[in-house]
Structure 1
Amino acid sequence: MKPTKRYCFACDLVNEPDLIKKYREYHEAGNVWPEVTESIKDAGILDMEIYLVENRLFMIMEVDESFSFERKQKIDKENAKVQEWEQLMWTFQQALPSARDGEKWIPTECIFKLSR
């Protein structure tokens, strides 16, 4: 299925080298819990990449036409392992200053695209 939309987000990690190292290890190939990757795919996310610079994370999601944030949230809420993963990741992550309570990944605004 061809992606219909791309979403980009930012989040910070706690700025401690040992925590950043451990977070990286959790995200190495094969280390993300299978229930988490399954949930991502089940929500209509075709591809997801996370980039790191210093303690700032950038996530890019390519989704199909079935994807909605509401559906993803529902799928995640109903999965105990995904909830456990999210709680674990909060030990490494910290919200951006503009985040609302409980919000960690903040949507970014595209301000330049070469093909426009």
Structure 2
Amino acid sequence: MKKYCLALDLVDDPDLIAEYEHWHKAGNGWPEIKDSITGAGITQMEIYRTGNRLFMIMETEDDFDFSRKGRMDELNPKVQEWEQLMWKFQQPISWAKEGEKWIIMDKIFTLTH
């Protein structure tokens, strides 16, 4: 298993943030999106929010590859439709590269005992 933590910002508008959260409540997401996530080898995903900053934790199979997931998404019309819808709410973090949404975070601390 691998674990990744990613960050993304939402447009800082309370109505848009509420609508974004609505789309992510149980039963409101599209089943094709869940299928594309699990089909790429993502076994667990959680998204947290503070203000307009999102934080995602992903657990994946050992052979998970972001490039492969990206190629799969490009070929999936339903995923492309979902991504277009989500861009209404999302904005890249200021240091993101062109076209980049979710940014992989660097782990800087681990508590061990």
TM-score, normalising length: structure 2: 0.96
Q: Which amino acid aligns with 2:13?
A: E
Q: In structure 2, which of residues 4, 8, 22 is the aligned counterpart of residue 7 of structure 1?
A: 4
Write the deviation string for residues 74-101 of structure 1: whole angstroms up to 9, x where unpaired: 1111110000000110110000000011
Count of residue pairs brought into register by the alignment: 113
- Matching residue's letter, 2:53: R
CA distance in structure 1 between the aligned counterparts of 2:54 and 2:8, rounded to whole angstroms: 5
**Aligned residue runs from structure 1 range 33-72, under 5 A:** 33-72=30-69
Q: Offset of 1:6 from its aligned partner? A: 0.3
Moved over 2 A (4+): none
Q: Are 2:66 and 1:73 equivalent residues in the alignment?
A: no
1:17-75, CA deviations, whole angstroms, 9 ceiling, x for partnerless residues?
00000000000011111110000000000000000000000001000023111111111
My pick for the range that moved more, 45-54 or 66-75, is 66-75
Alignment correspondent of 1:82? 79
Provide the aligned C-alpha RMSD in A. 1.0
Secondary structure at 1:59 match in 2: strand
Q: Which runs of no fewer than 5 residues in structure 2 stay unpaired?
A: none
The aligned residue for residue 23 of structure 2 is 26
